[in-house]
A and B are shown apart, each in its own frame.
Chain A
């Protein structure tokens, strides 16, 4: 897709960020002028518990090479215990993605608090590196020119 010869392939990573922690964490990374790879596309949600597994599946079908779900640490949820539900759903998604024949690295769950800007930047770097190694998602459909 508009890629010229010799240019390195850039993965597309879809990230769901919780309004109360990881979205602020991503903000903090920017405030501290930390380099975050431009591979990430952030969608802000009010809580990681709002992320229906269908969103993750749709993200993968739409062509994301990896989906990153981030939320508050267990016990810190703004809505009592919704991130426990996130963790529950993640376990289902993990099995699903594995059985479907996608690499397990295409799905991530990380807890990032509002103060963990450096951690956020580090996490995105790590995901990008891993995905660069395993290549584009087989679910991705490129339009023929």
Chain B
């Protein structure tokens, strides 16, 4: 049930603050005011490098959080888990947030009826540390003076505030930065899910006619239609039918980005050129620094185990294994379900290239199974199935 609209916030202030017409903020605010949801989960901006997830029922707080924040690659999935069992919650979701929530629903950790996912089209996020280095080395700005960032038309804009309150804007092409190893995170560079098709609404500026400050909205579910109707009825949002040209344009942008992502995926895969024993050496070497802190498990939007998880339980620091049980089990358990969000690498205190490792293991299994995790809540994770769907004649 896909319906396409152009939408914008009627409130001037919200419209000005939002990245593309303030539709997402206005929808959340109206849902909160009409008691359509009990709380909203938004990311509050601390600086361009830091965002904090805030669970609030105060519309004013939601209004303050308007606008995009590329330097805070947070996955909101785990923050929803405890709350959404009993109360209704609305939140903006990147494709990886939406996929994570769907995976949690498959594992019966959340009640999907209670969650309203306002999806955001996503071209990628930046790692805060890389971004600071980038600001200093390429933009020649003091990283702490950067007050605004924006990604548009294939360029990253950084705005810094100089002494005396003067604002200075600089931009560099994303491609140029990424050739040198900066720019978006590795997981984002190679991500092909640019439109959150498993959310309730998919919003973004792709397909909006040039110069107009509106949001292109795709309605994906009945829940999405309900929350949109609520926003229109309460007078917060105005919509118009999306022009056919815009729909085509959006598809074209998505396809272009997917093509780029696929080529990045091949370029960044340093393991594919190695021999079998080289691959083994690579994995042993990459994982040998692991201190088993469990941070990657804690943030993983797919993992539903709690403190007594098998991976930590079966791991013993005294073992002298080439690869620890913790890593073996983590990788094994995610083979069918990894959504390649890269959260594990972001939080790793010893910088293990987990994005690449998890992708290597899970992608080939998912390809064999013809299974894409986080898309359809009715599809059970294949590891839990009694019968595999692909013919697998045992030797």
Contacts and interface: CB of A to CB of B under 8 A. Distances in A.
B264 interface: no
A91 B336 CA distance: 11
Contact of B387 (A84, A99, A103, A139): A84
Interface residues of B, number: 36
B275 to A, nearest CB: 8
B320 A57 contact: no
B266 interface: no
A9 interface: no
Contacts of A90: 394
Contact of A96 (B282, B331, B388): B331
Chain B, interface SS category: helix
Interface string A92-113: 1101100111110000111100
Interface in B376-395: 382-383, 385-388, 392, 394-395
A89 B383 contact: yes
Nearest to B274: A101
Given A88-B383, A88-B387, A141-B322, A95 B368 contact: yes
A1 interface: no
B277 A101 contact: yes
A90 B365 CA distance: 12
B322 A61 contact: yes
Chain A interface residue bracket vs B: 20 to 34
Contacts of B276: 101, 103
Contacts of B282: 101
A102 B280 contact: yes
Contacts of B279: 99-101
Given A93-B332, A101-B278, A101-B282, 11 more contacts: A58-B314, A61-B325, A81-B386, A84-B387, A85-B386, A88-B386, A92-B365, A99-B364, A101-B276, A108-B395, A111-B394
10 contacts: A57-B329, A58-B325, A61-B325, A84-B386, A88-B386, A91-B392, A100-B283, A101-B280, A109-B394, A139-B321
Interface of A: 53-54, 57-58, 61-62, 74, 81, 84-85, 87-93, 95-96, 99-103, 108-111, 138-139, 141
